[in-house]
Amino acid sequence: VARDGDAPPVLEGGASHTHPRRRDVLASLASAASAAALGSALPAWAALAEPTLSEVTPAVAPSPALTALEQGTVSLFERSTRSVVNVVDLTVLSGQAMKSGAVVPEGNGTGVVWDDQGHVVTNYHVLGAILGVTPENRRADLECAKVTLLGPDGRTKTFSATLVGVERSKDLAVIKVNAPKEFLAPATVGVSKNVRVGQAVFAIGNPFGFDHTLTTGVVSGLNRTIQSQAGSLISGGIQTDAAINPGNSGGALLDASGALVGINTAIFTNTGASAGVGFAIPVDLVARVVPQLIEFGRVTLPGLNITVADPNVMKQLGVRAAGVLVQSVAPKSAAEKAGLLPTRRALGGIVAGDVIVGADGAKITTEGDLVAAVELHQVGEKITLRVRRGEGGAEEDIKELDVAVTLEPAR
């Protein structure tokens, strides 16, 4: 008989023998312990019912009302977006498939609806591909682009466009789209001479092919001389930090009222993407060029028909005044008749010509300043130049005088 505390008897073969009743008690205790251990190991959610869809759906807060600033921007975009169109050079359209996310080649750009006759203003370089392969004598009524306009119902439609005229030196071109009147929403043309550094501006265009994209910023600088992608220098440029990317060329730069103050043309970048330095052709210049392109197909720009010296030449000649040194004057020109003196060779060496330091009361310090002053006029109008004569010589021999020059067609 086994007593409590005795080891269980060992049966033949090594198996132990436990009293049946005691074995049942031990089994019950083990089962209870296992159940308790299992219950403590289960997470709390195992004992709960699965949540319903409504229980896991968060409450949605109502959209707040737009601020006055936001509402103003939205209203400006909605009023102006139909005046901005997508312009694609036909040679680019036929030669490359345009895919979202792909690098946008030159020739896929933007334009601005100028009037209800279908005239659209864009950059010369947007049409550079087809213009480069078409001789000037074959450009009349040339089908040059496809233009996509936004209709009053919000749907876009693409139309063919013919060439009206171009002015490469100003990176401007006018095309005409054959579209119904309801698709034509002319831009409101503003005034760029009143633009100030720090004021808000808005750019609408088609960067990377994404149509009717709005970017915002401020005017960062004025009277910039910029080199366009067509290779020409443009004076009086508006600098902005509103993002301007490939595809924005030819698009609208607007003031806070929605008036057109510039045509976006170039960016300063090492990567090809916006770096916060973009440039626009001032609308005052555009407004002088475009009507001539529409009327005559070309532009007659005013000019003094002089050449100016490099600043290094001014230093070598001992010119101390901050201005523009006249290097040469075209023979029989209005400038020569007015008495403007060029730099010339004399017995004692080279004599500095007149140094232009002002024009119509405005200060002139660079060639860009002079070009901008001239372009405020039309051919046949007079411009009054303030010059210093005798620079490079003794101070007492220097004279300041005004010279009135009748502007001629630029040669």
Q: How far is CA 283 from each of CA 162, 302, 377, 390, rounded to the nearest angstrom? A: 23, 17, 15, 38
Higher pLDDT pick, 375 / 157: 157
Which of these is catalytic: 171, 241, 284, 354?
A: 171
357 vs 322: CA distance, rounded Å: 7
Residue 93's pLDDT is: 62
138 vs 213: CA distance, rounded Å: 35
Residue 369 annotated among the catalytic residues of the structure: no
Confidence at 7, pLDDT banded by 50, 70, 90? very low
Confidence at 92, pLDDT banded by 50, 70, 90? confident
Q: What is the DSSP letter of 285?
A: H
In the chain, % helix, strand, coil (3-state, to 5) comes to 25, 30, 40
Residue 125 annotated among the catalytic residues of the structure: yes
Which of these is catalytic: 80, 83, 89, 125?
A: 125
Does residue 244 contact residue 205 with C-beta atoms inside 8 Å? Answer: yes
Residue 329's pLDDT is: 96
259 vs 83: CA distance, rounded Å: 11
Does residue 263 contact residue 283 with C-beta atoms inside 8 Å? Answer: yes
Which of these is catalytic: 83, 249, 274, 333?
A: 249
247 vs 71: CA distance, rounded Å: 27
Higher pLDDT pick, 29 / 264: 264
Per-residue pLDDT at 25 exceeds 90: no
Contacts of 174 (CB under 8 A, 6+ apart): 114, 119, 120, 121, 122, 164, 165, 166, 290, 293, 294
Residue 393's pLDDT is: 86
Q: How does pLDDT run across 42-88, given as a tens digit for each residue? A: 555 555 678 889 888 999 888 899 999 999 999 999 999 999 999 99
Task: Determine how β-strand 355-359 pairs with β-strand 382-389.
Answer: antiparallel
Neighbours of 327 (CB within 10 A): 17
Higher pLDDT pick, 337 / 22: 337
Q: How does pLDDT run across 166-185, given as a tens digit for each residue? A: 999 899 999 999 999 999 99
Per-residue pLDDT at 291 exceeds 60: yes
Per-residue pLDDT at 19 exceeds 80: no
pTM of the model: 0.73
**Residues forming beta bridges with residue 362, ordered by sequence position:** 359
Residue 131: enclosing H or E segment and its boundaries? helix 128-132
